[in-house]
Chains A and B, each alone.
Chain A
Amino acid sequence: MPEGKITLEDILKLLSKYEIKELEGVKIEGGDIEIEFEMGAYPNFQAIGMELGLAAYHLARVAMMLGFPVQQLFAQQQPAYPAQIPQVPTQLKEEEKIELIEKKFEPYRQEWSGYVEEVQLGATPKEGGTRKYTIKLGGEKSLPFYLFDAEQPHLPSISVDVFDRAVPLPKAIRTHYEDVMGHPDEWAKKVIKDFGADAVTIHLISTDPLLDDTPPHEAVKTVEEVLQAVKCPIIVGGSGNKEKDPVLLEKVAEVAEGERVLLASATLDTDWERVGRAAKEHGHCVLAWTQMDINSQRTLNRYLLKRIGLPRDSLVMDTTTAALGYGLDYAYTNMERARLAALKGDEDLAFPISSGTTNAWGAREAWMKESPLEGDYSWGMREHRGPLWEILTGLTLSLAGVDIFMMMHPVSVAVLKELIHTLGGKKKEVEYEDWITSEL
């Protein structure tokens, strides 16, 4: 393989050594179009031609553009529904008599009986852990960002993916992690310090029997290192190997005792019982992951709660994230239905939702240099397309009810966070001009 540049062919060659087996962690779901990289393997990205640092540069620019505090300009801002109708011209021109029919807008009030369970990730020393801060997920009593219906106690958080070994990534992402690849502790520090992540998700993919086959007791050392390196709450995932993951997560639960780690994941086709019990015994949370099927989600949640006795404040759901263009409609509607059910009082679905938003990078539109199809108009600049693909995937699902995003591109993280804070009411007034007559 030529140094410094991996082409698609190289990756394929490398992967062909593992044959089909390397696909253990790759799951085609729902509509058979979305690849779920549960183990964090990104096997078929073409990774050429991305300019270094471009995205970081844009990150700075995006950040610059947003959030100019200019309260004085808006001090006179009208409330959303002023009771008084402003004066309007009513004098007559010509003969026809036209008058404004004065109306008062009465917003429809919607009330929900249910609410989403509150789940805390991480524990401070006082609480038996070593985290400097904790994250609370859930607690919603209305649809996302409907602050006019009910207060939203916790806005969605963003966790950034970290891997315990080198992984093939699309170049747009890889550029940002090249210096920390193979050093999960440094990687974790970087995403917190430089990219503004609220949490990190450490994927112990080296445990994959087809990669390094690291034994669980070895692999969990990385978890300890990361817990040392960063003081944020952490999420720990396995390799996607159905047999080994539960054993691994059980070990993780032991070494991270008291830290309220989110164990990713318990699924119906693995030993969910083992993961659930380990979480319960050592005070962690469980990510219950199903394949875009609301009934399976209900079943799995019920198993964990009723059969294991997992406390309700320790369960997070992953209803599956499909990328924009590759089943996002299913993912969105499935999540929205789960959240609506929760708000209507379905206690089996009343849990915070997690989204593997990084899946957006599985869409060829996110990483391919140009359209492979002749009839298409140009796809445009890849260094913007990729982050936008991840942003729009996350943004769409944020409106369905996601409480924690797992993402990778720093620009995507920054922009989605900006939007969450904006809709969540955390932003000040921003000055803008009239677009109608401006030349732009």
Chain B
Amino acid sequence: MKVKSPLEIYKLLPGTNCGECGFDTCMSFAAHILDRSAKIEDCKPLIEQAKKNDKAAEKLKKLIEITAPEVDEVVIGKDLKIGGKEVLHRHELTFFNPTALFFDVCDTMDEKTIDERCSRVVEYKKFYVGKYLTLDGIAVRCTSNNPDQFAEVAKKVAGYGKPIILVSLNAECMEKALKAVGSDKPLIYAATPENWMDFLKLAKKYSVPVVVRSKDLNMLKSLAATFKAHKISVVLDPVTEPAGKGLQRTFERVIQIRRTAILGQDKDINCPIMVTPIAAWTVEGDDIGKMYWETVIAALFIVKYGDIMIIHSVEPHTIMPLVTLRENIYTDPRTPVQVEPGLKAINNPDKNSPVLITTNFALTYYTVESDLQSSGASGWLLVLDTEGLGVEVSVAGGQFAPEKVKQLMEETKIAEKVNHRYLVIPGLAARLQGALEDETGWKILVGPTDSGRLKAWLEQNWPPGSGVEVKQ
């Protein structure tokens, strides 16, 4: 984003503090645009005025221009966004639009294989910190060199409802496929120094985004500039050479493109970058080796600036590490991930079930919750608002405070839900034991430091002493 201060944005807003955008003041709205937690389109009055008078339209145009991301945002299909990056290092802001992971099918595969692969992409999900990680799309490759066959398979794949990439360097094949699925707004791959003119016409005709491909960065930039001049959304493929010196060069090309776009302010080459780990499958060797190496290439460019990828392996043991890594790299480092504080009932607890407490740091909470769930033990889990901090840090920082624990216990009326007065605290909060007993009047039991050991710990320590102490 060009602007560095909310004032520059504020100057172009209506300044009426109408609150329609959901923020109290135009200044607050401006600050949220700056950190990209709000969109200009949320300022309804400005959008309306711009339709009516030129002056407002001019302001809106300027606003969009100065708040445009450093790297273009490209939309594939209905709403899959790629690119839109602002920074080179995630702590400088955050990385927007996680690397889109596409998996390939080719038009010479049998129907069953195509269906299995497409279904995998559609169905895959991995639970992580309160949500499911999923896959983004399917790349249809033309290996038949037959326009009709390519179009037919493209049509079939489009039926799975995921965003698609059409892969063929043959303009004739591409045109036929676009006729079949162009309205789904696929990304087309790829315009090269040889075929670019035909692809440019196709991209315009069907208004679809296009990948430009060249190892030569002068050529790549020329292609990008040319397509952009025709108002076509561009994705760059600097060509993934899968191993050896070639992979080293690929790394260099990707870094140079992104760094030059962001720090060098090169507005020709500031496009999303495509990486094709699938190329690992063309190196001589066996399938297991290729599978490992493809995963390595994908991981490398999830960390370093790959905005979209085509991958061949649909094995869950390669997908899972990659989606997890992507989630880690693209998690917003500015805000600790939190869950709602309160009381959670795990596995239908009753009046004799243990009461445990943890923090509202999402990773801690979901780890404890899923550990309890899968252990089969039932219990009452108190979730303390530690402002999204983990146990150790919040104990040290005072967010895990005895008076806050007492307040939470009162709010959740936990005393009415159980017959005993025992609270199990995390091992890492052990030093609060005395203070907590004084504050709450409950007996405090120090649990394990890792909730993975809760099951065994409960078997050993619950019910406490000779049996559950009944206070009623």
A residues engaging B (CB < 8 A)?
Answer: 9, 12-13, 16, 20, 23, 26, 28-33, 35, 43-44, 58, 61-62, 64-68, 74, 78, 80-83, 85-86, 88-89, 93, 96, 98-108, 110, 145-148, 291, 324-329, 332-333, 336-337, 340, 364-365, 371-373, 375-382, 384-385, 387-389, 391-392, 395-396, 399, 411, 415, 419, 422-425, 427-440
Contact = CB atoms under 8 A, between A and B. Distances in A.
B292 A62 contact: yes
A81 B216 contact: yes
Contact of B125 (A74, A376, A434): A376
A436 B286 contact: no
A187 to B, nearest CB: 25
Contacts of B290: 65
A28 B450 contact: yes
Contacts of B325: 324, 328, 392, 396
A435 B281 contact: yes
Nearest to B263: A108
A215 to B, nearest CB: 27
Given A66-B289, A376-B126, A88 B196 contact: yes
Given A379-B126, A427-B247, 4 more contacts: A81-B218, A372-B373, A438-B143, A438-B282
A108 to B, nearest CB: 3
A9 B460 CA distance: 13
Contact of B303 (A96, A327, A399, A431): A399
A377 B124 contact: yes
B456 to A, nearest CB: 4
B143 A32 contact: no
B411 interface: no
B258 to A, nearest CB: 10
Contact of B361 (A31, A103, A337, A438): A31
Contacts, number: 347
Interface stretch (B8-16, B45-53, B310-318, B412-420): B310-318
Nearest to B317: A380
B390 A32 contact: yes
A439 B285 contact: no
Contacts of A145: 248, 251
Contacts of A429: 244-246
Contacts of A9: 456
Contact of B223 (A30, A100, A434, A438): A100
Contact of A389 (B143, B293, B321): B321
B218 A430 contact: no
A399 B245 contact: no
B364 A31 contact: yes
17 contacts: A9-B456, A20-B446, A43-B453, A61-B286, A62-B289, A80-B217, A105-B221, A108-B259, A325-B128, A377-B123, A380-B320, A388-B317, A422-B247, A423-B300, A428-B244, A430-B283, A432-B283
B339 interface: no
A149 to B, nearest CB: 9
Contacts of B172: none
B69 to A, nearest CB: 18
A34 to B, nearest CB: 9
A392 B269 CA distance: 29
Contacts of A333: 89-91, 333
B244 A26 contact: no
Given A88-B196, A422-B244, A23 B449 contact: yes
Interface string B283-323: 11110111111011001100110000000100111111110
Given A66-B285, A148-B252, A377 B126 contact: yes
A79 B42 CA distance: 47
A316 B371 CA distance: 36
Interface string B219-255: 1111101100110000000000111111111011101
A32 B428 contact: yes
B407 interface: no
Kindly state the interface size class of chain B when it binds its partner.
35 or more
Contacts of B304: 399
A411 B295 CA distance: 14
Nearest to A11: B456
B175 to A, nearest CB: 13
Contacts of B430: 20
Given A88-B193, A435-B282, A62 B288 contact: yes
B260 interface: yes
A395 B450 contact: no
Interface in B88-125: 89-91, 104, 106, 108, 123-125
A148 B256 contact: yes
B197 A98 contact: yes
Interface in B316-343: 316-322, 324-325, 327-329, 331, 333
Contacts of A373: 127, 370, 373-374
B202 to A, nearest CB: 12
B142 interface: yes
Nearest to B286: A61
B286 A65 contact: yes
Contacts of B67: none
A392 B124 CA distance: 20
A382 B318 CA distance: 11
Interchain residue pairs A-B with the least CB separation, the first 5 = A32-B390, A65-B285, A380-B317, A65-B289, A430-B244
Nearest to B89: A336
Contacts of B283: 65-66, 68, 430-432
B296 A391 contact: yes
A88 B219 CA distance: 9
A329 B336 CA distance: 12
A340 B89 contact: yes
A26 B452 contact: no
Contact of B248 (A43, A101, A427): A427
Given A104-B218, A423-B251, A32 B296 contact: no
B147 interface: no
Nearest to B283: A432
Given A20-B427, A82-B218, A432-B242, A61 B285 contact: yes
A324 B229 CA distance: 42
A29 B296 CA distance: 27
B174 interface: no
A78 B217 CA distance: 11
